[in-house]
């Protein structure tokens, strides 16, 4: 049903996004300051910053006391305290960055093609990693459980596009030897963050070209099949099949068209931001998997995302 309530400016996202982009939040990270000091530090116009800070105070991000401004305890936990259950860091900046991409939708509707992609800046890459962490936080334990159901170590698992490590770490904590393959810039950023003592190997490389050599008992494809189209996915599944042990398991986590309420939005998100990406039905997945030699597919839902699971047929 159309929702007139949703037809408003996403003011909080725009204000908090500007709080990050302008350096305002970072300037307050170490404690309270006068607004004049913050204005000087971040190169802002004082009167504009005053109006901006007032709006953020109204939303509960900052508070004023004795002529100074500071983050509220809630905002501090949310932005800067990774140990807190409320922590999201700058994960929302991924949504903020996507606003401009989504504004191209009317143009994309005419051409059917996303506008040419700009290089992802290191800053945007970090926001993306934060967003992926948030995205996985609630579901990772249940997803890992489903993917390993009925199996026990020793297991070798290939985690394709697993650079953010949100699944690799819980897999490895279950005693699985994990090989993560991701693009070089992500591997470079994340390799130093692999927790010590866990068996996680980071391999840089385009999985549409070749895979880190196996064999593996399990492959995990988390949120990558929406980035690519039918041809790439079908070829990827065939490549995965070649690296699995006989009877090996492929597990796919994504928004499945027709099953997930988020899938239509992800479909449009891919329309404006990718060359061939989209959301795919269970039947499409089953056909690609069958052509790569996999047997029947089982589908389970976790928090509106689906886990598809199939085994190589001998």
Ligand X SMILES: C[S@@+](CC[C@H](N)C(=O)[O-])C[C@H]1O[C@@H](n2cnc3c(N)ncnc32)[C@H](O)[C@@H]1O
Cβ contact 225:282 at 8 Å: no
Q: Please name the residue that has the structure tokens 């408003």.
A: 8
- What is d(CA 118, CA 215) in angstroms, rounded to the nearest whole number? 36
Which position's Cβ is nearest ligand X?
A: 161
Q: Does 186 bind ligand X (CB under 6 A)?
A: yes
Burial class (CB in 10 A: 0-12, 13-18, 19+), 240: buried
Choose which of 223, 225, 233, 260 interacts with ligand X (CB under 6 A).
223
Calculate the alpha carbon distances from 290 to 221, 235, 238, 256, 259 in Å.
16, 12, 10, 17, 20
With respect to ligand X, which residue has the nearer C-beta, 27 or 243? 243
Choose which of 15, 172, 227, 270 interacts with ligand X (CB under 6 A).
227
With respect to ligand X, which residue has the nearer C-beta, 19 or 163? 163
Choose which of 22, 32, 104, 208 interacts with ligand X (CB under 6 A).
208
Q: Which residues of 66-103 are buried (b: 16+ CB within 10 A; e: fewer)?
A: eebbbbeeebbbbbbeeeeeebbbbbbbbebbeeebee
- Interaction mask 146-185, ligand X, x per CB under 6 A: ---------------xxxx-x--------------xxx--
- Interaction mask 126-145, ligand X, x per CB under 6 A: ------x--xx---------
Smallest separation (angstroms) from ligand X to the CB of 137: 10
- What is d(CA 227, CA 4) in angstroms, rounded to the nearest whole number? 31
Choose which of 107, 145, 206, 313 interacts with ligand X (CB under 6 A).
206
Per CB under 6 A, the segment of 21-29, 72-80, 206-214, 301-309 that binds ligand X is 206-214
User: Interface with ligand X by CB under 6 A: which residues?
Assistant: 132, 135-136, 161-164, 166, 181-183, 186, 206-208, 222-224, 227
């Amino acid at each position: 049903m159309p929702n007139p309530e949703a037809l408003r400016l996403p003011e909080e996202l725009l204000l908090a996004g500007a709080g990050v982009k302008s350096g305002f939040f970072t300037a307050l990270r170490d404690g309270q300051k006068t607004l004049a000091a913050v204005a000087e530090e971040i190169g802002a116009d004082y009167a504009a910053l005053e109006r901006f800070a007032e709006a953020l105070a109204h939303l509960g991000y900052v508070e004023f006391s004795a002529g100074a401004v500071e983050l509220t305890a809630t905002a501090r936990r949310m932005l800067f305290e990774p140990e807190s259950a409320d922590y999201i860091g700058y994960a929302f900046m991924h949504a903020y960055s996507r606003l401009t991409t989504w504004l191209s939708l009317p143009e994309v509707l005419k051409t059917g093609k996303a506008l040419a992609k700009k290089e992802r800046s290191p800053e945007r890459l970090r926001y993306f990693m934060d967003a992926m962490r948030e995205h996985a936080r609630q579901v990772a334990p249940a997803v890992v459980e489903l993917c390993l159901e009925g199996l026990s170590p020793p297991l070798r698992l290939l985690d394709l596009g697993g650079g953010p490590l949100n699944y690799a770490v819980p897999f490895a904590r279950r005693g699985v030897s994990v090989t993560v393959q991701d693009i070089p810039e992500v591997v470079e950023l994340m390799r130093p963050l692999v927790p010590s003592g866990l068996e996680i190997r980071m391999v840089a490389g385009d999985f549409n070209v070749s895979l880190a050599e196996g064999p593996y008992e399990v492959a995990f494809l988390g949120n990558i099949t929406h980035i690519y189209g039918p041809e790439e996915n079908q070829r990827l599944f065939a490549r995965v099949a070649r690296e699995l042990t006989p009877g090996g398991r492929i597990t796919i986590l994504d928004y499945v068209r027709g099953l997930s309420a988020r899938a239509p939005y992800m479909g449009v998100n891919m329309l404006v931001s990718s060359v061939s990406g989209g959301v795919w039905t269970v039947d499409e997945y089953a056909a690609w998997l069958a052509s790569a030699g996999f047997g029947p597919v089982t589908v389970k839902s976790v928090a509106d995302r689906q886990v598809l699971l199939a085994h190589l047929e001998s």
